[in-house]
Every structure is written in C-alpha cells, then in structure tokens.
Structure 1
Amino acid sequence: MKERTRVAMSDTEVVELLAARRKVQLATINRDGTPHLVTMFYALIDERIAFWTYRTSQKARNLARDPRITCLVEDGEEYFELRGVQVTGTVKRFDELAEVLAVGRRIAGGLVGVPAEALESYVTEAARKRAAYVVEPERVVSWDHRKLLA
C-alpha cells in the first residue's frame, strides 16, 4: 500500500479535525499571480469552512477577482503526530448583514475566556464592515501521520 493511501483520513476523520481546530491558513491569488497567505479563525458550517474578513482586505479583493482558494488546517508538533486537511475550491460570498452576523457569531463562539456580551458587541460592530465566505470544496487532501505507527 502506498504511504499516501495509508495516511489519508476518512471523510469522518476530516470533518472531526476541521471541527476540532479554530485556525485555517487561507491562500488566495494576488493580482500578479503570487499567493496571498494568511491565518484566520474559522467555523465549520455544514461541514464547510466559513470565515469572515473586512470587505476592503487584500483577501477580499483577491476573492472578488478570483474566487479560488486553498485552505490548510493542521495539527501536531512531531512528525508522527502531523495531521492536516487541505481544501481547494471556490468561495461563496455573503454580504447580507444577517448572514455575516451568523458566520461571525459561529467564529466568536469558539473563543474562550471572553464574556458573551462582549463577544456579541464585537461581532455586531465588526459585521457592518465585513463579508462572510463559505468554501465550496472541489478537492480535499488529508494526512494523518499517526497512522504510520499503526
């Protein structure tokens, strides 16, 4: 069996990792064709990566021009602990305040140690200047190096 096949995660394992993590590395395409890579907080909505950003951010401008995106969620410190999911696809953008608020609340819901009323105040204020995105996956690649020791 090829090593690539041995370490691939099942669909259930992919969703479990995505649901357990909070940060995603997002790659969009700059005007000159170079990658624009940032780390963002995200939420999993209907098993899809959802995030929000300021409408004037570089990633928002890149996605308006070209909706293709690659997302990486990873975990582990040592080689035989490494796990990751790479999702390549396109984004669907949401500008309606109710939709942006819904995504913002889901993301903020994962933050710990912040009073709920402070989070709601932040989300309500920030949503007025943001757009929300959901990644529509076209290709998912995963790996779990813990499987190499099994």
Structure 2
Amino acid sequence: MSERTKIALSEDEVTSLVGTQRKLQLGTINPDGTPHMVTMFHAVIDGQIAFWTYRSSQKARNIARDPRVTCLIEAGEDYFELSGALIYGRAEVVTDPNRVRYVGSEVVRRMMDLTDDDAIAPFVEATAAKRHAYLVEPVRVASWDHRKLT
C-alpha cells in the first residue's frame, strides 16, 4: 500500500470535512490559462459545494467561460494535523432569483454561524440581486490526513 493510499480520507471523512469547514480555496481558470484563487465561504446543498458571488467578479466570468473548478478544503495547523481534500469539479451557475437567495441564505448562515432566518434575510436581500450562485458537481477527489501518519 502506498503512503498516498494510507493517508487518503474515506468518502465519509471527505463529506465530514466539507461539512465542518466554512471556507475553501476556489480555483478557476483565467482567460490566459493561469489559475485564479480566492477564499470563499460555502455551504453544502444536496451533497454539493455551494457558493455565491457577484456576477461581475473575475471568478464568475471565469466560470462562465470554463466551468472547471478546484475546491481546496483543509484543516489543521501543524504538519501532522493536516487533513484536506481537493475537489475537482464543474460549477453549475444558478441564476433563478429564489434559488440564488436560498444558496445565499445557506452560505450566510454558515459564514456568520446564524440560525435566525430574520437575521440572515436583510443581508441576503440586499445583495442577492447582484449575485449568481454556483453548485459544484464533483468529478474527482484527492485527499489526505496526516494524522494517519502517526
């Protein structure tokens, strides 16, 4: 068994990691082929990574041109604590206003650790008209858990 296989996360462990971490690094592809990396708050909706962003953002323009994305989610500080997953996928744009507000509400709920819909609604309503939401359909996952090395 290779070292890579020994430290890989199980499917359930990847699901748990994605569900417990609030931020991810999102990679999209710039027009010149270089990577565009940003930190995004996200939610999990029907097993998919979900996020929203302003329609005129660089990442939105990149996804419109090429829907391939990479999401990096990682936890831990020291080397032997690190665990993470690289989720390669395709981002589906969501433009329906009700669905955009729903995704936005789920992201804001996790981002601000809120449970009160009345506290979330004003922020979501104020920005939803300028945003699109995205759902990431996973294509391939690479993962690691350095805690398995000890």
Q: Give the structure-1-normalised TM-score.
A: 0.95
1:119 offset after TM fit, Å? 2.3
**Matching of residue 121 in structure 1 with residue 125 in structure 2:** no
The alignment of Structure 1 onto Structure 2 pairs a total of residues equal to 149
> Is the alpha carbon distance of 1:115 and 1:12 closer, same or farther for their aligned partners in structure 2, counting shifts above 3 Å?
closer
1:115 offset after TM fit, Å? 6.7
Aligned amino acid, residue 105 of structure 2: R
2:138 maps to which residue?
Answer: 137
Aligned sequence identity (%): 54
Distance in 1, Cα, partners of 2:105 & 2:24:
17
Q: Deviations along 1:86-108, whole A, 9 cap, x unmatched? A: 10011111001111011001111
Indicate the SS of the match to 1:26. strand
Q: Structure 1 segments of 4 or more deviating over 2 A? A: 112-119
1:71 maps to which residue?
Answer: 71
2:30 maps to which residue?
Answer: 30
Q: Give the structure-2-normalised TM-score.
A: 0.95
**Matching of residue 19 in structure 1 with residue 19 in structure 2:** yes
Structure 1 stretches lacking a partner, 5+ long? none
Distance in 1, Cα, partners of 2:56 & 2:116:
28
Distance in 1, Cα, partners of 2:24 & 2:114:
21
1:47 offset after TM fit, Å? 1.7
Q: Deviations along 1:112-133, whole A, 9 cap, x unmatched? A: 3797534210111111110000
1:65 offset after TM fit, Å? 0.5
Indicate the SS of the match to 1:12. helix
Task: Say what the alpha-carbon RMSD is for the aligned residues.
Answer: 1.3
Q: Deviations along 1:55-79, whole A, 9 cap, x unmatched? A: 0000000000011100100000001
| Cα contact 2:109–2:115 (8 A) shared by 1 | no
